[in-house]
Structure 1
Amino acid sequence: MAERYKIYDKLGSGGVGAVFRAYDNELKRWVAIKRLMSANDATGDQNLATELRREADALASLRNPNIVTIFDVASDAEGLFMVMELLEGEDLADVVGRGPLHYDDFKELASQSLEGLLAAHQRHILHRDIKPENIKVERLPGGRMQSKIIDFGLARAGMRARKQTEDQEGTVMGSIFYMAPEQLTRAPVDVRTDLYSLGCVFYEALSGRKAFDGETLNEVIDKHINHDIIPLNLVAPHVPPWLGAWVLRLMALNPEDRPTGAQQAIEEFRAWEKMSAAPPMMPWMPPGYGQQPGSYTQSLYPGSATTSTIPIQPGYYQQPAEAYAQPVLEVIPDAEPIIEMAAQTTPMARTSPPASRTTASRRTGSVTKTPSVRLHSSASVHEEEKKGPNVKLIAAIGVAAVLLLAGVWFLFSGKNDPESGGAASSGLLGSSGPAEVTYQLPQDRLFPPADTDICLHLVAGVGGTGKDGRLATPDSDVLEWHDISPLANDNLMRAYNKSSSHAPKRTFWPTPKDGIIGAKPNRTVLDFRPREGRPIAMSLSDAASEKEKFPFGSPAPRGMPGMTLGVVFQADGTRLPMRLLTLTGDGGAAVILKLDKTKKLVAEFRSGGSTVSITSRDVDCTLPCTAILTWSSDGIAELRARDAPGKLYRATAKIKAPTAPLSKLQFGKVVGSKQDNAPTYEQFSGFLAEAIMYSSLIKVDQVQLLETKTLRDYYIQGPPTKPSSTKK
């Protein structure tokens, strides 16, 4: 191995072995290497070594875009190992931690996960440990979400039916919140077992809560075995009845009531998606499934009721009513299920995300990782029924024994606080201590492209705190504005002199009287209009320890070196001209965005004693606007601006790139010895909704996605138009 692969660091470990990040010297690429078995273990148990090699070869034969790719299976002096692709992105658990998925993303998740399982099942391989932590997701440049199933450590190739995976001590392995009843009772498992676990994942992805949860392991086990579940339409009213029924079918208590395989589940999803009403009661549905909690006013998903009390959330998939067919329940004919052979392996170590993503998970309130659980049992459920003892009691005793021996505590995620933009708290079961408040992007937002290079992300409705440190409410002062980016470590903007006199207020963006062009209703902004003659200004408090992560810092970003900075704002037309923002660095370079007397935007780029300016045409900055500034490492600076009516301006200029990180950001300006004597032309007066900065130059299609889908479509309503003028 040492001749071809250079090992860098350990990403994780499991019962079979450990996973390492390595570099392939021949193919010049980063890979993940999983050590399956040491040479000593292989010598001591040749049968196990043979089975592991056969399973590894079977996994390596899988070629599917929704399954982690195995590049090679080989042996060296230390034993057997597998070489796998090193995945980017984050766990589905982290994504769901920011809030339930909207329909577009859920549909991608459902179809891709089932496609991946179908490919594995066709080769007679079960996963048997499906959970959010074992599904990696990544946002593609075009905005589409891609998912891949990882960690086939509990998988087993073969056609002979056996009981659930056991190790040498006869313990059942898996993740308790997602384990099928047949796994808990040691009954035979097959492809429908994976469907049950995937259904539990889908339930959580749609609702933000676990399907089977409890304060103790015994309670969770009881809920699985008794099928004690709250219907999706009760915990997540935005989910239409057909979708809730489809998920419940995957999670049916009896395997016979589930789809016979992933193919049937896919076809049923496509058929049921055309329904406009709830399907009739089926055996797998819990009592009271059709009961709806109150009235509705908004359709968010295909087939959902036309009335809902929850707020409109842009970005959800919608279809016109005429697109729906008559409510006919279509069940795909049964097919022979593939039965699987049991194994004696432990879960494969999960490939960990990069350090930056680990930071993001900590700071954005991600779902708590669920450790695998071992449930002791001495016989199958059929044997136990003959002997008489209650199956649930045996399972519970086994769990208690494991807890006493291992001292395992399980983490449960906290509830989202809508006022904090999804601030979450979590703690150990049975422990006490203050909950950590974190900040995250609201669940109704499309997450920005190339998110791993975001070094500063400020959203008016998220992370604003007042004098007492509490979250800012409408019409309250915002003294601190917390960053929610995945790269930096909670950088925050502070009001000038930490004074309420210079702090913006949190408010709702005023909407136009005609309701056609302007800000969308109920959009939160920070009000920077001066009060009592005092200017409002905020600056980045202290990015010294994080400045190298900002544009033109020393660590190379994942994308192209450079800078991308986007803002959503509206200027007060009675106070022009003004300065909106200033971004500087230690090397004297600067980016300044101004607004002149004629309502145009002026972007100044300064570096090496030189200055270039780009002035927009036609774009009216006194209307809601988006502006995106980019600066490449080869010295190409660009201004891209669009106003509410849809007028677009784009122009570039040539200037030497900065030689030091641009890490000092300020909105507005306060100068001089007194707090209120800043020249009018240096003050910013207006509304600021969002600012997002990348430590890289993102691609053109990503810029377009950022400008339209991520920023403009969320805040601004107005007819999109073709560029009115473009200057090269």
Structure 2
Amino acid sequence: MAERYKIYDKLGAGGVGAVYRAYDNELKRWVAIKRLISANDASGDQGLAAELRREADALASLRNPNIVTIFDVASDAEGLFMVMELLEGEDLADVVARGPLHYDDFKELASQTLEALLAAHQRHILHRDIKPENIKVERLPGGRMQSKIIDFGLARAGMRARKQTEDQEGTVMGSIFYMAPEQLTRAPVDVRTDLYSLGCVFYEALSGRKAFDGETLNIVIDKHINHDIIPLNLVAPHVPPWLGAWVLRLMALNPEDRPTGAQQAIEEFRAWEKMSAAPPMMPWMPPGYGPPPGTYTQPMYPGSATTSTIPIQPGYYQPPQEEAYAQPVLEVVPDAEPILEMAAYTTPISRPSPTTGRPPVGRRTMPTGRSPSTRLHAPAPEPASSGSKAKIFAIIGTGIALVLGAGWFFFGSKKDTASGGSAATSILSTGPDKVKYELPQDRLFPPMDSDICLHLVAGVGCIGKDGKIAPPDGVILDWHDISPLGNDNLARAYNKNADYAPKRSFWPTPTSGIIGAKPSRSVLDFRPREGRPVAIALTDPAGEKSKFPFGQTPPRGESGMTLALVFQVDESRLPVRVLSLSGEDGSSVILRVDKYKKIIADFRNGGSLGSITCNGVDPTIPCTVVLTWQTATSVTEMRVKDAPGKTFRAAAKTKPPTAPLTRLQIGKVVGANQDNAPAEEQFSGYLAEVVMYSSLLKLDQIQLLESKVLRDHYIQGPPTTPPPAPAPAPAPSAPQK
């Protein structure tokens, strides 16, 4: 070693070796050298030396940007050593000591460390000593935080379950605060052991305090083994419930309740980031963590076939909430209480401003400048008996209910009143404080999504008259757009009047047979109530007008329009107008159903009119319609498909618009003092989803949109296998003689 590497100083020591800063005289670079075993130890235990050499060689084979790189494995007169890259930056422990991580930084930490573990596990290497001191973090020039896992000193090659290594005194090595119960009880360990330790690290990174802490080693060990933990949402109220549940899943007491590996943990994080703010009670959660008994059944974790069933009231069913929200960010201010602020994430929301009715804009500030204040953290409970623990969990349940209750917030008004009403002054800014909604994680997103300028989904962004997420059978005054181009546009009930607002409902399923809507699919009910029509219209999209079909902003796809929807009309109230879409130049698209149940699409631009009539497809059962309008050829087309699988496709020619189509209206109300609009202009039925593109989709994209994205999600069609042939009638018996 002395010929090539010059040792300068000792950087630290671990359970099986010391680390030194050294200079590589051949490659002219600074390196870190870790002495694994001395020559005396090697001579005394040849088996240990051989095993360490094999595992050091396995570590050297790892090539991952989030794992410290090993340049060489060699031995000299003093024993075995590894040459590694010398990392700059800080330990994660030093960063967390200044305050909990910002959400952006935590997401980078979680994804990068899990990717590192995935790479190691794929090489059949367990780390077994994951802790903040073994994660190096560095701020890159572009602002992102880079994480690298170091010190595989306790790592073992080979994925078979085996007991934790013990030192000569019989004590378990590794940091006691992050060790899995199976390590503490000398039970077999596997990849899920590393996930548990990483979960403890994530808990501390989000809250600034250890998940399992105590004055003595025995207290800490008992808390691990008994899973005595304060839910993350109580320790750090800024952490959304889904994130707290995900971290708790990594830290589940039983390995069977944890993800099967780093890959599943990554996938669950991505899925849960789009899930509801309050997952149901799950086996790995401490008592009192989940919401009060609800009324739905959903997967125990995203992708799981096992479900958690919450008791439901007779005759009442509530599916999981599909809304996604904006992530609160904790900004630490020296000598001040923590402040909850808003940033542009798609996770639970903070409390709205009392003046604007909207959440404040997050400043995305990194917590720096001081050690975590004790005011940020709930005090650790004293060791308690089983009776007192029950009281603690009862208090925890009450606190969680309060935290979850604060997540349901009040939305203010937006932009102008819907069609027919007088203009209303907007109390919302059009700046970056708009809340973003996303499709539920179980949905296939439409193709060519960069050109989607309007996307309305029943059950997502549906705001009731109290400014909160509308419950089933609740009226919908505001229906938020989830398209990126729309920038949180919304459709609003006529005059923002609950008498004319649709209701959030569930699509009626067929009483017999299997053809119709799938169970528990959310829809908006547009059937008139008390003689009043129901109507909702898109408010003025203002700065987003140019992004709509035929606007000035060029789309990525071919110039034109694609409009798709899923609906069902009320057979007893035909004819109806389903929707109309128009522009400032007088051009329009109108979709209606006549009294003979024929679906008609009218494309108009001045004196140019193209009308397409669909025969043979039944709109009184769930169906999909796709309307297209091509700029280059002036060709308009309608495609229809109903639940039994009947299809229709026809085209016409109409001169394309010269102004963007931005005025979308579903149903119609003639005036504030006229409750009964002409029947043919009302809409009576159910509407599940509307997707509009600022471009003309290609044929294969349209087929994907109407079938996989829309129809397969909402509609259950005919059986895939033909029914059995009827049994032949028995032959008549011969007459008796």
If you compute each CA radius of gyration, which structure gives the higher value, 1 or 2? Answer: 2
TM-score (norm 2): 0.49
Higher relative contact order (CA 8 A, sep 6+): 1
